[in-house]
């Protein structure tokens, strides 16, 4: 068995696990495995094997064919833009932008929903920004706005077809609490218990 295959087996880098790891360590891992492999392989060949490390497949459902898929505006952008499919006005003066999109995230992933930078040109606020879409939620992605200056009035800042928010997916690390018995066991830091404004304006 090639040493490359041994590395993949020892660390259980099977196809399922590789697709669940999203990082920027591709070049480092590729170079290390290429150097250690008995079989002579080019760096590009190893990079191709490990390419799924920097990709993540997400299932997506569109409620109709005219629903726009999220898109990257420019190469290298961190987030994808989502578009308004329809608009709903609530009796409490919230404006709900329907995207017509449903997602099934891979295990241990979450989606973060953020306002677009152009949102600062409006008086609309996404009150729960950044929003979170959990892996177990498969309902429609909704973007909810309220007017900053007149929250009791109905103001529509976006139209059907406009880019209304942006999304990014992240690997979720499970929190395991390690409880300590005293505040001293947390250790000392330069800031300590300094709260609001403790580092200056």
In terms of Cβ atoms closer than 10 Å to its own Cβ (0-12, 13-18, 19+), residue 195 is exposed
pLDDT in the model for residue 167:
98
pLDDT at 87 over 50: yes
Tell how far CA 37 is from the center of its chain.
34
* 136 within some domain: yes
pLDDT of residue 7 exceeding 70: no
Is 66 in the same domain as 131? yes
Beta pairing, strands 95-104 & 80-83: unpaired
**pLDDT of res. 23:** 47
pLDDT grade for 148, boundaries at 50, 70 and 90: confident
Q: Do 32 and 109 lie in a common domain?
A: no
Assess if residue 69 is contained within a domain.
Answer: yes
Q: What is the pLDDT of residues 96-139, one digit of tens each?
A: 999 999 999 998 899 999 999 988 898 889 989 999 999 999 99
Q: 179 lies in a domain? A: no
pTM: 0.73
Is 129 strand, coil or helix?
coil
* Residue 38, domain member (yes or no): yes
- Return the pLDDT at 17: 47
pLDDT at 180: 92
**Boundaries of domain holding 100:** 59-171
Residue 12 shares a structural domain with residue 80: no
Assess whether pLDDT exceeds 70 at residue 18.
no
Structure confidence at residue 20 (pLDDT):
47
- Residue 72 forms part of a structural domain: yes
74 lies in the same domain as 152:
yes
**High-pLDDT (> 90) share of the chain, %:** 46
- Beta strands 140-147; 95-104: pairing state: antiparallel
Prior bond of 130 cis (ω within 30°): yes
Q: Is residue 190 part of a domain?
A: no
Are 64 and 146 members of one domain?
yes
In a domain, 200, yes or no: no
CA atoms within 13 A on the CB side of 32: 8
Question: To the nearest whole number, what is the mean pLDDT of the chain?
Answer: 83
Closest CA to 86 of 138, 147, 159, 153: 159
Do residues 70 and 99 both lie within one domain? yes
Name 110's Cβ contacts closer than 8 Å, sequence gap at least 6.
132, 133, 134, 135, 169, 170, 172
Residue 184 lies in a domain: no
């Amino acid at each position: 068995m090639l040493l490359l295959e041994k590395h993949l087996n020892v660390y259980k880098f099977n196809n399922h696990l590789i697709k669940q790891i999203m990082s920027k360590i591709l070049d480092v891992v590729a170079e290390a495995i290429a150097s250690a492999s008995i079989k002579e392989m080019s760096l590009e060949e190893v990079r191709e094997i490990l390419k799924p490390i920097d990709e993540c497949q997400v299932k997506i459902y569109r409620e109709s064919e005219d629903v726009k898929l999220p898109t990257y505006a420019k190469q290298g952008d961190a987030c994808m833009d989502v578009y308004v499919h329809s608009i709903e006005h609530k009796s409490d003066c919230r404006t709900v932008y329907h995207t017509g999109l449903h997602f099934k995230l891979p295990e241990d992933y979450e989606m973060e929903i953020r306002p677009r930078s152009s949102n600062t040109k409006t008086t609309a606020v996404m009150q729960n920004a950044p929003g979170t879409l959990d892996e177990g939620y498969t309902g429609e992605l909704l973007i909810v706005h309220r007017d900053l200056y007149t929250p009791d009035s109905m103001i529509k800042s976006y139209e059907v077809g406009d880019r209304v928010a942006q999304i990014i997916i992240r690997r979720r690390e499970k929190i395991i609490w390690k409880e300590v018995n005293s505040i001293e066991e947390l250790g000392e830091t330069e800031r300590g218990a300094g709260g609001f404004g403790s580092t200056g304006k």
